[in-house]
Each structure stands twice: as structure tokens, then as C-alpha cells.
Amino acid sequence: MKKMILFADPGIDDAIALLYALRQPSFDILAVVAEYGNTFRHYALSNSIYLLKEGGRSDIPVFTGAERPFTGEAPDVQPTIHGPYGLGDLQPFLLIDQPSENIDQLIPLIEQHAEELTIVTLGRLTTLATLFLLYPILMNRIKEFYLMGGAFSVPGNITPFAEANIYDDPAAAEIVVQQAANLTIIPLNVTNDVLYPPRFFTEMEAAGANPLIRRLAEFYQRFNNQENGTSTIPVHDLLTLVAFAEPDLFSYGLYHVEVITAAGLSRGMTVADLRPLSEQPAGPLPRIALDVNPTAVLQHVFHIFTTQPSDF
Ligand code: RIB
Ligand code: CA
């Protein structure tokens, strides 16, 4: 079993990813950390608790992460893409106005499992970077990290140059990419290559998947249709968990990475050093996913949610 702690900002694609994680038999989810990002922190927290209940795993603890980025800016939440509360047109089943600020209670859990633990992060990097600042020795004991974020020599999705998880807190992202040992990055280079048509979600529901997945996907499809004229959608965060479960569906390169932290047009841009490894600076070399087998991913996801085969 792969022991993991999930940092997320649900958010439609985070929500589908979390529901996948709960179905994935090889995962042992020790905790969820909910933070600002696609929506406000207290909605992300409510949504995480709701999704764990939906998946029959209310026993998994949820910790409250960051409320805003290191920049001090107000969270740039995305209600048009993710709905007023983060889960499309769903209303939260309970609304937490005053979250329990309990992130300190995550530390003993990390201490207990560090050497066999993977941290998967699907949102802004503020909480994770804070842990690296406060607990560098402990964080260096962690086995590995998977991170959804970045766009390497491809267009961004929040600015022409930057991907949203990196753009919203570039200083935090820079800390994580410089400090995290055994870091795998799942950037837009691959997440935009795995596109789900509407019939994927209706057929998955007909084959037994939780109807919530179709409902969430339809909200995002509507947005995508208005924005890009297509209802096929990427599900960025889901692909990151698929990479953790099935790394062989991807091909990778090892590169030194820098994040542009300065304000301006290139804020949040991720840059890979393409020189030979022997010429790269000292420090961790993240493994960047640069290619993926989309058909295999669709078939895998369909199977995990339904235990049925599919013709995708
Ligand atoms: O750029 C994609 C990322 O930004 C995903 O994590 C999605 O949830 C959004 O926050
Ligand atoms: Ca996310």
C-alpha cells in the first residue's frame, strides 16, 4: 500500500481526484490538507469533509492549510470554473465558518510515517512550503512528492506563461521545487493531453460510478464549452494521482527547475534547465512528466471508478 497525504483545494478536479484516491486500492490515505486556491479555505475544508463522507471514509483526518499566499494577496478564487463553493452547482452539506486551525496535528503523523510517505499536492504550494520552512529536517525524511503544477515551454492556463497552482504563490512553489527530494511534477504538458469527452462520465455513471463525478464534470464542461468551444475536459489533479498509482503510463525527464517569482508578465513561469545533467546546479532534480498515454489513462480511470472495462 502506498501511504499518502493529499494537499488539495477542492475544486472540481481536486474533488474527482479525491474520489479516485478513495477508490484506488493501492492507496492508504493518511490525511487530507485543505487550503485556499480554487475556492476559499473554509469551503475547501467543507468540501474535503463532504467528499470523504461521500467516499465512506470520514475516518480520514482533514487538516486546515493556508488561507492566503505568501504574497499577502487575497485568494484569487475561481467561482466561474469551480462554482460558488468549489463543487460546481452543489451546495456544501455543512458550511464551516471558523475552521479548526489544526495543522500542528499533522506533524506527528508525518513523523510517524516519513520514510514511507508520499505527499501529493494538487493546489497552491503555500502550506507545503511553510512546512519546509518550519520543519526542514522532518520534510527531508519524506520518501517522495507528487505535484500538479507548472507549464514547461507550453502556454499557461492563468496567464500566457504560468499555470495556476504556481502563479498564485510563486515564492512557495520555488521553495518546494528547490527543497523537495524525489519530486515528480505533473504539468500542463501532460494534463492537457488527457481529455475526457462528456460520454466518458455518463458511461461511467451507467457502469456504477458515483453520480457526483458526472455532476462535477458537467459543470466544468459547461465552462469549458463557453471558454474554448469544446466540452472535452482535462482533469488535471486526477492525472497526478494516476501518475502516482501508475507511473509507467508516463515518460519523464530530470531537470533543475526554477520558478519566476518576480511580479510581471512572467510571474509563476516554470523553467527547466535543459543542459546535460552533468552541467546542472547541485540540488534535487525534479522528475517532470512530459508525455503520457491518454488512452491507457482513460481506461484505467474508468476501471477504478467502476471495476468495469471500457472502450475509450
Ligand atoms: O492548473 C490546474 C490546477 O489549478 C488544478 O490543480 C486545478 O484544481 C486548479 O487549481
Ligand atoms: Ca487543484
pLDDT tens, residue by residue, 262-272: 999 999 999 99
pTM of the model as a whole: 0.97
Amino acid 99: pLDDT: 86
pLDDT tens, residue by residue, 213-263: 999 999 999 998 998 899 899 999 999 999 999 999 999 999 999 999 999
Q: What is the mean pLDDT of the chain?
A: 96
Could you give the count of Cα atoms lying within 13 Å of 53 in the half-sphere of its Cβ? 9
Is residue 312 situated within a structural domain? Answer: no
Is residue 145 situated within a structural domain? Answer: yes
pLDDT tens, residue by residue, 172-200: 999 999 999 999 999 999 999 999 999 99
CATH code: domain of residue 203:
3.90.245.10
- Alpha helices by DSSP H, listed for the chain, are 12-23, 41-54, 79-82, 106-113, 126-134, 136-139, 164-167, 170-179, 188-191, 198-206, 211-228, 236-245, 294-306
Cell of 121: 499536492
The C-alpha torsion from 206 through 208 and 209 to 211, rounded to 10°, is 60
Domain count, the chain: 1
Could you list which residues have their CB under 5 Å from ion ligand 2? 9, 11, 14, 122-123, 237
- Asked if the model's pLDDT at residue 97 lies above 80, the reply is no
Phi, psi of 6 (to 5 degrees): -105, 120
Cα 127 to ligand 2 centre (Å)? 13
Cα 10 to ligand 1 centre (Å)? 9
Amino acid 227: pLDDT: 87
Ligand 1 proximity of 174 Cβ (cutoff 6 Å): no
Contacts of 78 (CB under 8 A, 6+ apart): 38, 39, 164
- Asked if the model's pLDDT at residue 19 lies above 80, the reply is yes
pLDDT band at 54 (very low <50, low <70, confident <90, very high): very high
Is residue 224 situated within a structural domain? Answer: yes
Amino acid 214: pLDDT: 97
Is residue 11 situated within a structural domain? Answer: yes
Cα 276 to ligand 1 centre (Å)? 31
Cα 280 to ligand 2 centre (Å)? 30
Ligand 1 proximity of 218 Cβ (cutoff 6 Å): no
- Asked if the model's pLDDT at residue 94 lies above 80, the reply is no
- Asked if the model's pLDDT at residue 92 lies above 80, the reply is no
Is residue 151 situated within a structural domain? Answer: yes
pLDDT tens, residue by residue, 102-148: 999 999 999 999 999 999 999 999 999 999 999 999 999 999 999 99
Which residue among 7, 9, 40 is best mutated to probe the pocket of ligand 1, counting the most ligand atoms within 8 A of its Cβ? 9
Ligand 1 proximity of 148 Cβ (cutoff 6 Å): yes
Ligand 1 proximity of 38 Cβ (cutoff 6 Å): yes
Amino acid 98: pLDDT: 83
CA dist 41 and 230 (Å) reads 30
pLDDT band at 45 (very low <50, low <70, confident <90, very high): very high
Beta carbons of 65 and 103 less than 8 angstroms apart: yes
Residue 90 or residue 94, greater confidence: 90
Amino acid 93: pLDDT: 72
The range of the structural domain enclosing residue 143 comes to 2-306
Is residue 311 situated within a structural domain? Answer: no
- Asked if the model's pLDDT at residue 95 lies above 80, the reply is no
- Asked if the model's pLDDT at residue 301 lies above 80, the reply is yes
Closest by alpha carbon to 47, among 36, 220, 224?
A: 36
Cα 12 to ligand 2 centre (Å)? 8
Amino acid 231: pLDDT: 86
